[in-house]
Amino acid sequence: MIGQSATRLNSVRRLAARAVVVLGAVFVGGQLMRALPHEQTLIFPVGSEFPNATHFAASWKQLGDAEPRGGVSLTFTRTPPLQIRQRAKLPDGDYIVSIDIQQARESKKGAPDVPAAPEAPENALQAGETAGSREGLQTNIERRVSLSGGEALIALAVVPREPSVSE
């Protein structure tokens, strides 16, 4: 009787040890899969927010990275599409997406004038600011986005910021 109990106890221990090893392997495998780059889709609603856009550029970098991991730059001779869907192979995680949009200035007739060449503003712009120039408007937006596979909609609406006490 004691021999049967010991044999049964050893069987249960072996089964439990195997279960722990299998569960550990599944957990570690899941963590590794999230760290590997896989297809992510970034959606930018350009045309719906900026119907006079003539140029769109975006780049993304993971928090802590010095250089962007990717980007896109498009020039429009007509009205931009309502959405730009950009696919990128990236691991899951938090990213900073920097967006620059050039808009044509309105002519006296109400139709947008296409700028000749974009001109960099003299002062650096903070996230979500719009600057005017002879060529039109330039909007710079910066968003923090969490990617976890699938699609991520990047908000482009510029939220006016409160003036600081020193302004």
What is the average pLDDT across 23-52? 80
Instruction: Look at residue 1 in the predicted model and tell me its pLDDT.
Output: 58
Instruction: Look at residue 21 in the predicted model and tell me its pLDDT.
Output: 73
CATH topology of domain 38-153: Immunoglobulin-like (2.60.40)
**Total count of residues recorded for the chain:** 167
Token look-up 């962007």 returns: 68
* pLDDT bucket at 128, cuts 50 / 70 / 90: low
Instruction: Look at residue 118 in the predicted model and tell me its pLDDT.
Output: 39
Each residue's pLDDT tens digit, 145-163:
999 888 999 998 765 556 6
Amino acid at 92: D
pTM: 0.63
Instruction: Look at residue 127 in the predicted model and tell me its pLDDT.
Output: 47
Who's near 8: CB < 8 A, 6+ residues apart? Answer: none
Helix ranges, 1-157 (H): 2-35, 46-49
Each residue's pLDDT tens digit, 57-108:
999 999 889 999 999 999 999 999 999 999 999 999 999 999 999 998 765 4
